[in-house]
Amino acid sequence: MKKNHVQLTCIAGGYPAPTYKWFREDYQVDNPIFTEIDPLSDSRFILSGGTLMIDKPDAENDNAKYHCTATNKFGVIR
């Protein structure tokens, strides 16, 4: 049975509250390439706070490492 969506969650605290970005990690000739997830370019991606949802994931196209960053005026964590 195929899942309808996959949900990844990133939790970070801070004041002011952080903003989140999600990235996909691919490799080209053994060098990592980090591509920011943009829900405006692919409607299957839904970002809400620190949560990334992938609607109707595809094992071939969506198989990758994903990571998030949380940012506020004091810095960035990954």
pLDDT in tens, 51-66: 999 999 988 889 999 9
Count the domains in the chain: 1
Q: Is 29 left (phi over 0), alpha (psi -120 to 50) or beta?
A: left
Range of the domain at 65: 5-77
- Provide the strand spans (E) within 10-64: 19-28, 31-36, 45-48, 51-55
* CATH code of the domain in which 73 resides: 2.60.40.10
Confidence at 41, pLDDT banded by 50, 70, 90: very high
- Predicted TM-score (pTM) of this structure: 0.85
Q: Is 71 left (phi over 0), alpha (psi -120 to 50) or beta?
A: beta
